Amino acid sequence: MRRAFVTLLFSILVLVLSTGCSSTERKPATEKLLVGRWMLDEVDGKKVPTNDKVVYRFRYDKALTASQLISSEKESWMMNLELACTLRGNSLSIDVKTDEQLSIVYDHVILRITEDELECITTVKTRREGRSASMSEKRREKYVRVPVDFRSSVIGVWEGRLTSESSEYDSDGAEHRWEFWKDGSYVYYDRNEDGTWNQSVNRYSDFIVDGRLLFMRWANQDRVEKRECWEIESAKNGVMKWTALRRREDGSTYTASFTMNRVLK
């Protein structure tokens, strides 16, 4: 009888411990799930144009921190800032200080987070020294995890052509060439009628890659800065493919795409 009771007690203990461990595995901490690279994918149920996408990279080392890369800020070149984060329950606050006078606080209420997706309700508070704070309307955002980083893959010389109907700065479908350097600069070439390549004379041309996103800016001799962002769909076996969701002036959208081959010099 005593042996049967001990056996039953041991069985119950094993069941409780195994149930507790599996429960922990099913529900990992939000901090652990947040760690990694996330890219803005949808706002209020609509896909975000590629030029307006944002990338967050979360790290956890004694405290949760993040960096942000955004292409749509015209005052600065591709804000890539270290951010202070506060996570309480399902509320994530991210404080962005662009300079001593301007502070932007992103308040996210996390609705759902998995290994691949993050959905939240976001409010943006902007404070400028000497002025009252302004607050945006709440919006529902969806982020997708980006498990790859093409930062080193783009380095080198690539040539190819537009494989869609049009793009913001290209509609002729002619061949083009880019030469990306490790220092974050690049050279762009047009092809002449005789097949030779003509290097464009830009005042500057820079790029940043973060995960899948390729951000570029350049200015010709007219000093007018242009910016363009592409999502790198793949880069393997000497072939790189770009895609981008673009918005027309009338608000409609279309998808542009490029396919390029690596050039061995």
Q: Rounded to the nearest 10 degrees, how much is the dihedral formed by the CA atoms of 102, 141, 61, 150? A: -100
Predicted confidence at residue 61, as pLDDT, reads 67
Report if residue 141 sits inside a domain. Answer: yes
Task: Name which residue leads in pLDDT, 265 or 148.
Answer: 148
d(CA 254, CA 164) in angstroms, rounded, equals: 9
Residue 16 lies in a domain: no
Residue 12 domain-assigned?
no
What whole-number percentage of the chain has pLDDT above 70?
Answer: 75
3-state secondary structure of 18: helix
Listed residues 98, 116, 145: the one ending a domain: 145
Q: Of 120-124, 151-155, 261-265, where does mean pLDDT reach its minimum? A: 261-265
Do 104 and 163 have their domain in common?
no
Contact by Cβ (8 Å): 161, 175:
yes
Render pLDDT for 44-88 as a digit per residue (tens, 0 to 9). Answer: 999 999 988 888 888 876 556 666 665 555 555 555 667 778 888
Same domain, 180 and 247: yes
pLDDT band at 170 (very low <50, low <70, confident <90, very high): low
Separation between Cα atoms, residue 142 and residue 110, nearest integer Å: 10
| Whether residue 88 is found in the same domain as residue 165 | no
pLDDT at 80: 60
52 lies in some domain: yes
Spatial CB neighbours of 50, under 8 Å, sequence gap ≥ 6: 213, 229, 230, 231, 243, 244, 245, 246
d(CA 138, CA 169): 33
One domain for residues 130 and 188: no
Residue 165 lies in a domain: yes
Q: Is residue 6 part of a domain?
A: no
List the end-to-end C-alpha distance of the chain, in Å, as a whole number: 84
Q: At which of 78, 112, 145 does a domain end?
A: 145
Range of the domain at 172: 156-263
Residue 39 binned pLDDT confidence (cut-offs 50, 70, 90):
very high
Q: What is the CATH number of the domain that holds 252?
A: 2.40.128.280
Q: Which own/partner pairs from 214-217 qualify as long-range (CB within 8 Å, at least 24 positions apart)? A: 214/150, 214/154, 214/242, 215/69, 215/71, 215/78, 216/186, 217/77, 217/78
Using CA atoms, how far apart are residues 49 and 167, in angstroms rounded to an integer?
13
Residues 94 and 39 in one domain: yes
Q: Is residue 39 part of a domain?
A: yes
Lowest-confidence pick of 160-174, 197-211, 217-231: 160-174
Q: Are residues 141 and 196 in the same domain?
A: no
- Find residue 211's DSSP bridge partners: none
Residue where a domain terminates, one of 145, 176, 210? 145
- Number of domains the chain contains: 2
Reported pTM: 0.78
Residue 264: per-residue pLDDT: 84
Asked if 67 and 116 sit in the same domain, the reply is yes
* Strands in 61-212 per DSSP E: 64-70, 79-88, 91-97, 102-113, 117-128, 134-135, 139-145, 156-162, 176-180, 186-191, 197-199, 204-210
Q: Are residue 114 and residue 182 in the same domain, yes or no?
A: no
Q: 138 and 41, same structural domain?
A: yes
Do 131 and 170 lie in a common domain? no
Where residue 138 sits, what CATH number does that domain have? 2.40.128.20
User: Is 219 or 96 the better-scoring residue by pLDDT?
Assistant: 219
9 in a domain, yes or no?
no
> Are 203 and 130 found together in one domain?
no
